[in-house]
Chains A and B, each alone.
Chain A
Amino acid sequence: MNTPAVSLEQVLMARQSIDGRIIDVDEPVVKQVIFRLGHLWLAFPGDRIREILTDCPVFSLPGCPPTLEGVINVRGDIESVLHLGQVLGVETSPPSAKSRILLVQGHSLRTGVRVDSVEDVIDVVQGSIRQPPHTLPERWRPVVQGIVEFGGHPVTILDVEYLFEHYRSGLL
């Protein structure tokens, strides 16, 4: 048989260069819950999401601003529902079968958060989370933890603590 002599190392080197990247399996991953809000792709860190609620009736309360939809009864616990689109100034879709309420846990409080749809729950390699771009509008910068890619879309990861505490203080 007249075949060129190729070592195992060469084959592996060649495959590696085709594959193009090395995945460090020891690099930490973080879960992200990816959702849509109007035209935006957003995410909350998965460890802050207690539940994704569907078909949950929201009861309005007198005196609430438009950013607060009202309250929901989650198996005997009463939780507020934040209208994230109103808080961030994003035009959202009308309520539909895809609408969800994320039950989000902060350090000092928990609340429901209304979103247009939940797209996926994914593990993201921590090192692949990019810093927010400098072109991000000023009012958005503090609330953005980072950017990840999902399905060809840039997904903005939101800082739950900043969002909740600044909203509670009336700064958002």
Chain B
Amino acid sequence: MNLAFDESTSRFTLVRFQAGGRAFAVAVDQVRGLAARTNPDQGQAVAIAVETILGLAHPDTQPPSERRTLWLLRSGQPVAVEVSEPVRLIEVAVGHLFAVPPLIAARTTLKGACALFFEADSTEPVVLVDFLAATGLVAVSLTHSGSTGNGTD
């Protein structure tokens, strides 16, 4: 997975979001944009819930107003994925990223988990996911119906 790396600060730029009540992040390189939640009834793209892609057992219980559409890039094609607020750009120092421990990597049902980090204001680990490695994303691209995002907020 490629990460946007600022050599001058030794930091990676990531997009952080919530899914299933937990904190996740994705490399900004895999994100094309962020938009309001898409509405298929208005002819907009069908966005698949990120919880489905990641293999989380429980769907997010956030109300629709708390959900956003993250436009990801897969093989150069935009793919709509629904995530929960707060969604924000963050920077993480190289030394603060940790590989997923081997037993967890072997036994977790979470798809695409590739690293962990802790935010300064929280003790909850944030899981860095690689959507290109998350197999569920293939199905998403097939349901994409044309509308694209507005660019990262």
A residues in contact (CB < 8 Å) with B:
57, 59, 61-65, 67-68, 70-71, 73, 77-80, 82, 108-109, 111, 164, 167-170
Whether B56 is near chain A, meaning CB under 8 Å from some CB there, is yes
Indicate whether A71 sits within 8 Å of B101 (C-beta atoms), given known contacts A62-B20, A64-B107.
yes
Partner of B107, one of A67, A70, A77: A67
- Chain A residue with Cβ nearest B106: A168
B103 contact from A62, A63, A77, A168, Cβ within 8 A: A168
Give the residue of B55, B106, B123 whose beta carbon is less than 8 angstroms from that of A59: B123
Apart from A79-B101, A82-B103, 9 more pairs, CB < 8 Å:
A59-B123, A63-B55, A67-B107, A71-B104, A78-B98, A108-B102, A109-B101, A167-B103, A169-B106
Within 8 Å CB of A108, what residues of B? Answer: 102
Judge whether B66 is part of the interface by a CB distance below 8 angstroms. no
Q: How far is the CA of A78 from the CA of B118 in the complex (A)?
A: 10
Are B110 and A78 within 8 A (Cβ)? no
Contacts of A78 in B (CB 8 A): 98-99, 101, 116, 125
Instruction: Identify the closest chain A residue to B110 (Cβ).
Output: A63
Query: Which interface residue of B107, B125, B127 has the most chain A CB atoms within 10 A?
Result: B107
The size of the chain B interface, using a CB distance under 8 A, is: 24
Query: Quick check: A111 and B103 within 8 Å, CB to CB?
Result: yes
Can you identify 18 A-B contacts, CB atoms within 8 angstroms? A57-B123, A62-B22, A63-B54, A63-B109, A64-B104, A64-B108, A65-B109, A68-B108, A70-B125, A79-B101, A80-B102, A80-B104, A82-B103, A109-B102, A109-B103, A111-B103, A167-B107, A168-B103
Please determine whether A71 and B108 come into contact, CB atoms closer than 8 angstroms: no
CB distance from A67 to the nearest CB of B (A): 7
